[in-house]
């Protein structure tokens, strides 16, 4: 059973997966920089290899096709190497300085397309809408379980973003505790009785210098204190605490926007590895008025080094104002080509 161990020095929790420990030669990076799964020859996520994954939780399927068989567009399965399991209750143990919780939670893989060499942003807006709707459904289902306190939807694309599979996929991790990293959003609300993200939207629209683009429902900007070069946030303009509060109209808008933006970003930055994290409100944790979900897209052009590890300070060599200019231009250019 995995454990959540208290890191007293950093005042944080670390997930230790004590079973299935990786041996020194099983890590994705080492002297060899490329993982075994970076070609399609034996990819378990491809259509036709459904037997290689764990059992399907949900899918967007052609009418008449059966679970765990071909005929799907998006498909979600338990992560074979899950960090957490939903077994029993959360319990804490402490021996002297050493405090831990059992790794109660849930971890699944959302396979975004049936085809190995087509990434999700290369698919149609309709296909991308299917993905966002399935994610909304899974978020709704998972938050019914009162043991779950936070649900993270995320994507690792490319080796330098921590992906161990090349095939286009996202993941959903349901945690038994609320991450402290974003707690400042809640403290801002307590202090000002206002939403930090709504205030940010207003301030950024007024200044324009970090706005990449704006649609009916979303603002796309490079945040003022970007931790990563060319980092961008896609924020719903209507105050919404949880990702599952997204409407069908917003999903249609987001599908078109994210397809265009990721394509333009990939061209402008020469197809980097990148991560997406959907930051959202805690669940089953009382009222969460201060939170406001948003999608954080972080190209991985630098490797985190000892500065970040030792101090927690991030170093970013590209001013977000400059990044916004470059990304905005790339987005305009790509729209003109179409």
Please give the residues from 110 up to 129 whose contact with a second copy meets the rule CB under 8 A.
none
Instruction: Determine if 36 is a binding residue for a second copy (CB under 8 A).
Output: no
Q: For residue 66, which of 56, 79, 76 has the smallest C-alpha distance?
A: 56
Q: Which of 169, 192, 239, 292 is catalytic?
A: 169
CB of 71 to a second copy, least distance (A): 29
In this structure, the number of other CB atoms found within 10 A of the CB of residue 294 comes to 22
Task: Find the part of the chain contacting a second copy (CB under 8 A) among 111-119, 138-146, 182-190, 212-220.
Answer: 182-190
Q: Which of 31, 63, 146, 336 binds a second copy (CB under 8 A)?
A: 31
State the DSSP string of 258-298: HHHHHHHHHHHTTS--EEEEEE---SSSS--TT---EEEEE
Instruction: Determine if 37 is a binding residue for a second copy (CB under 8 A).
Output: no
The number of residues that bind a second copy (CB under 8 A) is 99
Instruction: Determine if 48 is a binding residue for a second copy (CB under 8 A).
Output: no
Instruction: Determine if 152 is a binding residue for a second copy (CB under 8 A).
Output: yes
β partners of residue 108: 78, 172
Residue 85 is classified by DSSP as: B
In this structure, the number of other CB atoms found within 10 A of the CB of residue 89 comes to 8
169 is catalytic: yes
Instruction: Determine if 193 is a binding residue for a second copy (CB under 8 A).
Output: no
CB of 18 to a second copy, least distance (A): 4
Q: At residue 37, what are phi and psi to the nearest 5 degrees?
A: -95, 20
Instruction: Determine if 79 is a binding residue for a second copy (CB under 8 A).
Output: no
Q: Which of 85, 118, 137, 277 binds a second copy (CB under 8 A)?
A: 277
Q: Which of 91, 94, 309, 338 binds a second copy (CB under 8 A)?
A: 309
**Contact yes or no for 307/169 (Cβ under 8 A):** no
CB of 10 to a second copy, least distance (A): 6
In this structure, the number of other CB atoms found within 10 A of the CB of residue 307 comes to 11
Task: Find the part of the chain contacting a second copy (CB under 8 A) among 66-74, 131-139, 146-154, 281-289.
Answer: 146-154
Q: Which is nearer to a second copy, 98 or 238 (CB)?
A: 98
Instruction: Determine if 160 is a binding residue for a second copy (CB under 8 A).
Output: yes
Q: Which two tokens stand for residue 104?
A: 């109660």
Q: Which of 142, 296, 324, 331 binds a second copy (CB under 8 A)?
A: 296
State the DSSP string of 151-187: EEEEEEESGGGT-S--S-EEEEEEESS--STTHHHHH
Query: What is the residue whose two structure tokens read 């790339």?
Result: 330
Task: Give catalytic residues, as residue numbers.
Answer: 169
């Amino acid at each position: 059973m995995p454990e959540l161990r208290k890191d007293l020095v950093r005042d944080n929790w670390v997930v230790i997966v004590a079973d299935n420990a990786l041996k020194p030669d099983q890590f994705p990076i080492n002297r060899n920089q490329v993982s075994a799964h970076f070609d399609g020859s034996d990819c378990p996520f491809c259509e036709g290899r459904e037997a290689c994954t764990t059992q399907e939780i949900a899918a967007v399927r052609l009418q008449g096709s059966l679970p765990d068989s071909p005929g799907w567009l998006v498909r979600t399965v338990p992560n074979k190497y899950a960090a957490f399991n939903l077994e029993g209750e959360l319990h804490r143990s402490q021996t002297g300085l050493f405090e831990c919780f059992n790794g109660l939670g849930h971890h699944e893989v959302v396979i975004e397309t049936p085809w190995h060499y087509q990434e999700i942003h290369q698919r149609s807006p309709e296909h991308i809408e299917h993905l966002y709707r399935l994610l909304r459904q899974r978020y709704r289902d998972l938050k019914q379980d009162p043991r779950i306190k936070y649900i993270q939807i995320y994507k690792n694309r490319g080796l330098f973003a921590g992906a161990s599979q090349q095939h286009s996929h996202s993941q959903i991790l349901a945690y038994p505790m609320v991450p402290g990293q974003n707690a400042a959003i809640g403290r801002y609300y307590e202090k000002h009785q206002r939403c930090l993200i709504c205030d940010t939207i207003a301030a950024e629209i007024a200044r324009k210098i970090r706005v990449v683009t704006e649609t009916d429902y979303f603002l796309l900007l490079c945040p003022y204190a970007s931790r990563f070069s060319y980092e961008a946030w896609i924020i719903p303009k209507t105050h919404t605490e949880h990702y599952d509060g997204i409407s069908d109209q917003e999903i249609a808008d987001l599908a078109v926007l994210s397809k265009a933006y990721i394509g333009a970003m990939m061209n402008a930055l020469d197809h980097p590895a990148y991560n997406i994290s959907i930051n959202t409100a805690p669940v089953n944790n009382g009222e969460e008025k201060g939170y406001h979900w948003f999608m954080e897209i972080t190209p991985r052009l630098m490797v985190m080094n000892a500065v970040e590890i030792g101090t927690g300070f991030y170093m970013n060599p590209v001013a977000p104002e400059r990044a916004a200019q470059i990304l905005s231009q790339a987005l305009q250019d790509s729209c003109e080509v179409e």
